[in-house]
Structures are given as C-alpha cells and as structure tokens.
Structure 1
Amino acid sequence: MAELPSAAWLADVTRFDPPKHIDAPPDWDEAVQVLAHHGLAPIAAYNLNYRMPETDCPDFAKEMLLGFFQGISSDNVFKFVMLKNLVGSLGVQVAMLDGAAFAENLYPHIAFRPVPELKLLVPREDVPMIMEAMREERFVDVEPDEPDPEAPAVTLFNERFYTKLFTSILPNEKAMPGLFERAVAAKAYGASVTRLAAEDALVVHALTLARHGFAVPLVQLIDLREMVKGESPMAFRGGPGAAIDPKVVKERAKAFGAERALWAALEILVHYHPEVEDQARAMQPDLSFASRKLLETAVVVPAYDYMRDRQLKAVGKLQQLLLG
C-alpha cells in the first residue's frame, strides 16, 4: 500500500492562502484519493492549478482534482436551486445546517465545500408542511440503511440526494428555541431560509463531529477552522464565519450541554490546523484535569488517524462520553 500524505501536507494544500510551493506527497495517486475521500479535492484542485505555481504536481493529478471541482460545483448549485424553489417561500423557518450552511459563508468558491446532502433544522410542527413541499420533487420518506448518529427526525430521498430534517440537535432541549431566535437570514434562498448565528453554528458543528466520534471527512475540520477564525469575508451578513466572541461560545456550549464535545473538537482542530491554536484555546471550555485526560485518551488521540474506519459501536460509546 502506498504511503499516505501527512496531515500537515493536507492542511497546506487546502489553505485559502496556500504557500506557492510544497513538497510532493509520497504518492500523488494516493494523495488524490485521500483528498477526494475527505472532501478536500476541490480546494486542492484550485490551489494546485492556480495558487501554487512552484509545486511540482503531475498533470494527471491536476486533471483528476479539477474533475472533482467541476462536478461538485454543478452538484452544489443544483441542490441550492432546488432548496430555494421548494422551501424558500413556504412561510416557515428553515435553518440550514452543515455543508449547506457553510459552502457560501465559509468558502471563497461554492465548489470548495461538497454538500452531499441537505440538512435542515425545522420546527417540529412544520415537518408535515415541509415534507409535502419536498414531494414536488419526488422526495419520499426512507429508512436509512444503517443507524444515523445524528438521528434526523425524517430522512427524504429523491433518487438524486438525501435531505434530512432535524427538529432537535442539542443535548439540552430547552436551549432549542434560542437557535431559531438568533438565526440570521439567508436571503439568497428565500424568506424562509436562515443560518445559525456564528457562535451557535460553531458549537452545533462540534456536536455533529462528536456524534460521529470525530471519524469524519477532514473538510469538516476546515469548516471548524474557518468558524474559529471568524473572519470570513463571505459572512458579512452574519452566521457561520462571522466574527465570534469566545466568551459567548463557552456560554452556549454550557447551555447546550456541549462542553466536552467542544473541548475535544477544538483539541483535534489544533492538531490538524495549529495556526488557529490561539483562537481555539480561547474558546475551549474549562474542564477538570480528569475529564481532559479521559477525552484525550478515548477521543482526541484516536482522531489523529484520519483514515480510521468507522465503528458504530465505538461511536455509540463515544457519544455517551461526549454528550452524557
């Protein structure tokens, strides 16, 4: 088996301000496969073709990566147009989550962030109305092939992609109304569509990573990196990527029941993207020494292996540890 690229190499090739030159990975074919597997191919494609002129990248690797860039660009636009057409003017609040919320707010190009499925946070009472609207594009309610750690209320599929509706995403249910109250409008998608406020989005994303035991595509750590930095020029209307208050992040983590999840997420982020260590440490919750050591051993260090296989039983145990 060919040697994998290092985590540091993957971080360098997917920066928004990359160096003009980086050394070649041990094997370019393996590097392309890893980049694609982790949702990093579009950023790497743009950087290696246009931003890193002194890097000796073979043509076949550039062409393969550009194929991912072009395909994901078209696929994302298709999903967002459908989202706007189906729920943009329903008159009920819909908050985009995960890639749908991040692709335009955190990334310089819509193709940089793959959006394999739409995830939407909706008021429980509005689920039937949204499901009815989705049926216009032949979305039907389906049962997942395997347990979903995120536990959506409804999973819909239309032979093209999945849309998941969530009515609860916090360990502390009492904090749910505040997510909707603080959400900011995503006007490009219609009057009904919003994104979570910057601090809320960061903590909710840490919870999502925790529910998967941090065995996630590395692009999700780029999401976290950009939210921690809080200086995205695309987030001028607020939401993910906007300027962030570390004190508020800690307060929200405590209110949501997400302190352990956030601590672990930021610890893992610092390993993969050490350039944001100062910002990450400023918003890390204060945990006891025993809690930190337990999380470090059971959660953080294993996540340094970015190609580890998912183990659903292990994920269940990690959820109990992280989310109580």
Structure 2
Amino acid sequence: MLDKKDFKPVTLADRAFFECHYTLYPQTHSDNTFTSMVCWNRFMHYRYAYVKKNVILECTAAGVTRLHPPIGPRDPELMREVIQLALDMSDNNKPLMLIDPETAKRMKEIDPDLMLVPDLNHFEYVYRSIDLAELPGKKYLKIRSQINKFQKNYRYTVEPITPENREEIMEFLVKWCKCKKCDENFILAHEIEAISYALEHLTELPLRGLLIRVGLQVGAISLFERLNTDTALIHFEKGLPEYEGIYKAINAETALVLASEVEYINRESDLGISGLRKAKLRYHPHHMVEVYSLNRRTCFPVIK
C-alpha cells in the first residue's frame, strides 16, 4: 500500500532519472518538469515516489500538501492508492491536482462519484511558435506596433545567457526586484529565488536563455527548455519596466529562436491573476493544457 514514507525529496541528482522516465511518458504541464521542481523546491518542497514503474509527485507549499496523479503505465489499483493517500495526507479541499483529461476519465471509471473540477488557474497557455515569432495579421497589430516602437526608441542587442554573463543577470534581478517590491510579495521573492537557482545551475539543467541588452545594461531575460517533442516551455521571463515594450521584444526574440525547433511554445499558467490572464490572451493561444483537481468535499473516506 502506498505510504507517505515512500516519498523522498527531489534533488538535482535526480535529473537523469526524471529525464529517462519522461522520455517514456512525455509531459505537457510545466509543474511536472524536473527543472520546475528543483528551481522552486525551497517554496514548493517537492518529493516523489517511484512505485510500480510510476512516478507520484508530492508538493507542500505554505503548509498545504498535495499529490499529483501517477505518471507511468496505467494501474487502476495504484490510482486508488494515490487517491486515498491524497485524502489522508491533506486537509485541503483539493488534495490531488494537475489531473490531465485522460487521467480524469480513468479516475471516473474507478469511482464515478469523484468530483473532478477544472483548475482554471493552472491551465497553461500554448501558442504556435511561428505566430509568436512572426505576429501575423490584424490580431497582432498592436503588439507589432509596440515592438516597432521599442526598436525605434532603444539601441539594443540580443545574446544567449551563459555562465559568463550570469553576474550581470543577477544584478538585473536585484534591480527588477526593487521595481516590483519583492520584499512585499513573497511569491515574487520566491520566483526570484527560483530564477537565481536556475542561473546558478544553468549548465546542470536542460535550460537555455536569451537576454536583451539595452546599451550596456541587461534589460530583459528569458529562460526556456524543450518540454517534449513538439513543444518548448518558457520557465521565466523578466524585463525592466523602464523600457517600454521590452516584454513584447523578449517574447518575440525567444520565439524567433524556437520557431525553427518546435511547433508550439508553452508559456505556463496565469495563476488566476487577471492582468496576467489578459496579457496571455492577447497573444491568442492555440490551445490550453487543461488540468483538473479532486474536490474532497464529495469524496468518501475510503475509495472502493
């Protein structure tokens, strides 16, 4: 029987294991990626169990523990154990999260009484890479205009992120944090912590990155990786607000690099932040990565 003692912390040393497993079972949601887990580990406290050739992820943030469904070969009995353990481990209303549509269907086959609710705040936005690179047609007219204005107003260059310019980027993050008052927002503070970890371990993670330098100063960065065979994932994107249009510029420059490599770009979720949601919708996503959560209020104590 699956037990909380079966879980151990996710560490940088686990990269080869996760890469091997995800080659067999490609992921579509950013929260399951190894890079996300190790970079956000001080906030999310990721752990995992490997049972019956399945990976089961656990995360604990702000004292709330949740499980993810099994990643691996279909095993109805293991699914029952994961559901029960999630209900036993957490008092949270949604103890099992990031359930993809196919897994949700299988869970309903196991127990039709389970209430699985769409988790809109964790739906991820996926775009055609060529659309983000070329911004074609009238629907992108305003964005093209903002990029043209940026190009007219600033002298800038684009270069890859490397260990050699890492210190400059760290200085950029300090400045960005002051602009955004990270000391008053613990989520932003943890995000900067995650980006810093990514930069410190750039060569140990499957990450690549670009920066925009305005004059001599780093004005924007993006960090990304290959998510699966047809999709790249943008983990982090930051720009200094003093440069109008710089977010549009770094978005486009990143897409130009990726358009020749992948069909799609996943730009993660909006976390329910209305301004972020509007910004992501302006780029007209091709589709969303839909996920569901288990609502414990409708669950019985024991899953039969």
TM-score (norm 2): 0.26
Structure ranking higher in helix proportion: 1
* Structure ID, larger Rg: 2
Structure ranking higher in strand proportion: 2
